[in-house]
Amino acid sequence: MTRKYFGTDGVRGRVGEMPITPEFVMRLGYAAGATLVARDKMPAGDHPAVLIGKDTRISGYMLEAALEAGFAAAGVDVVLCGPMPTPAVAYLTRALRLQAGVVISASHNPYDDNGIKFFSAQGAKLPDAIEREIEARLDQPMTCMDSAHLGRARRIDDAAGRYIEFCKSTFPNELDLRGMKIVVDSAHGAAYHVAPKVFHELGAEIVGVGDTPNGLNINANVGATAPHALRCAVLDSRADCGIALDGDADRLVMVDAAGEIYDGDRLLYIIARHRTRSVPVTGIAGTLMSNLGFEHALARLGIECGRAKVGDRYVLEMMQERGWILGGENSGHIICLDRHTTGDGIIAALQVLSALRADGETLAQACADLALYPQKLINIRLPAGFDWAGDSGIQAAVAAARTRLADQGRVLLRPSGTEPLLRVMVEGREAAMVAEQAEAIAEAVRCAIGETRTEPR
């Protein structure tokens, strides 16, 4: 059965349009709740319970209320924690022994998007089978438990403090961040009241960026998807480094004192390189987008680089299948399974910083053996239902690019799992050729969908 509503990271879309409407989200809460009730046979008188967290989008209030109503109608208790990072909800669900966790967030997307994603009782993404079961229930009429069996709601007041202590526990006891000035960019998102405290309580002097959310400014020219703001703040404040998270704090980008930006591939390499000095690291799960230079640098360390489909759920699946503890994406999703069950921007930053402190190195020094190949990524918005894979003009452009690159690069076209975009990526040894071939393929896509290019890109 093909999933109708769930993408690679839950259900996501523009607020007010299907499926992100109050009515649908209430039905989604009910369908998820009914699935929990059917799967978890609770003792008589007990109800399954779920944790609901959210980021700082203004639509979170509306969707939180809709989810709460749906779960209550299905006989599921609700625990509300307010704005919290996605990985915090995963942790708290497990720590509080709840049956599921729910996050209301569209991650790095703009404020007028939103989404719903679920975690299991173990703090992991829901298996495909459970998502399909929820979708099947969405096609059935929504009913309501009798009044005596309706779910209740309560709020947990110490959620942030619990998560801060958990994050700090992943940093070595013998190390601290004293003497470091760190810029922390929270993207006006879910970590605005959490991330600065984690690094401050470990001893760092903190300069805050993106820490004044108003419901409309999440990810707006700040955060991991717009690291220029972090770079400027690091240079202006003469900080040792900078940390940028995205709206739900599950991805990470860093900047060094010279203003150099470090993506997920480079940060994951730093973590892996340091780990090899104390424990064997046989393999790391990357994705189809991971840089060839990253793969080659890992090979020099004796580490296999696997390539999963793009999406942290697929990275995690590969890690579990192969028994690996490290994985991630160049976008900044980094998973350290010996620290957390899911990708976590704050915890990933702590692993990088602990490696630098233990080895007495800067970001640049720790990455000296890693030379990334030039990559060009172009995003093109597609009309609904457009068959880009079957278009002869697009495929001819792809074939021509692969011929030009030969064995010195690669071409990847893939649809976004969260937005109506086709991502065109070309990678190779020569930056000029990479840019030329990426633009040629992008132009073929534009011609195929009837889009006229009106200005330089």
Same domain, yes or no: 208 and 125: no
Give strand pairing partners of 208: 184
CA distance 320 to 311: 15
Same domain, yes or no: 430 and 309: no
Give the per-residue pLDDT at 451: 72
**Each residue's pLDDT tens digit in the chain (457 positions)?**
567 899 878 999 999 999 999 999 999 999 999 999 988 777 766 899 999 999 999 999 999 999 999 999 999 999 999 999 999 999 999 999 999 999 999 999 999 999 999 999 999 988 888 999 999 999 899 999 999 999 999 999 999 999 999 999 999 999 999 999 999 999 999 999 999 999 999 999 999 999 999 999 999 999 999 999 999 999 999 999 999 999 999 999 999 999 999 999 999 999 999 999 999 999 999 999 999 999 999 999 999 999 999 889 899 999 999 999 999 999 999 999 999 999 999 999 999 999 999 999 999 999 999 999 999 999 999 998 899 999 999 999 999 999 999 888 899 999 987 778 999 999 999 999 999 999 999 999 999 998 755 444 4
Same domain, yes or no: 234 and 338: no
**Cβ-contact 258, 241 below 8 angstroms:** no
E strands, 7-99, are 11-14, 49-54, 77-83
Give the per-residue pLDDT at 277: 93
Give the per-residue pLDDT at 350: 98
Residue 139: closest CA among 216, 31, 22, 296: 31
Count the Cβ atoms, other than its own, within 10 Å of residue 309.
Answer: 15
Domain boundary among 233, 261, 289: 261
The torsion angles phi and psi of 445, rounded to 5 degrees, stand at -65, -45
What is the number of domains present in the chain? 4
Residue 156 Cα distances to 53, 93, 273, 443, angstroms: 11, 12, 39, 52
Residue-range definition of the domain harbouring residue 302? 263-345+357-372
Q: Which residue type, as a one-letter code, is found at position 47? A: H
Same domain, yes or no: 91 and 212: no
pTM of the entire structure? 0.91
Same domain, yes or no: 247 and 131: no
Same domain, yes or no: 387 and 436: yes
Catalytic residue among 105, 107, 290, 354: 107
Considering only the C-alpha atoms of the chain, give the largest distance between any 2 of them, rounded to a whole number of Å: 69
Same domain, yes or no: 132 and 267: no
Answer yes or no: is 163 within a domain. no
Give the per-residue pLDDT at 68: 98
Answer yes or no: is 165 within a domain. no
To the query of whether residue 237 is one of the catalytic residues in this protein, the response is no
E strands, 95-203, are 100-104, 113-120, 153-155, 181-185
Residue 175 tokens, joined: 């190390």
CA distance 69 to 76: 10
Q: Please provide the size of the chain in residues.
A: 457
Give the per-residue pLDDT at 44: 66
Write the burial class of residue 239 (CB in 10 Å: 0-12 exposed, 13-18 middle, 19+ buried).
buried
Answer yes or no: is 40 within a domain. yes
Count the Cβ atoms, other than its own, within 10 Å of residue 39.
Answer: 12
CA distance 309 to 301: 24
CA distance 130 to 151: 21
Answer yes or no: is 80 within a domain. yes
Give me the residue label for tokens 């899911």. Answer: 342
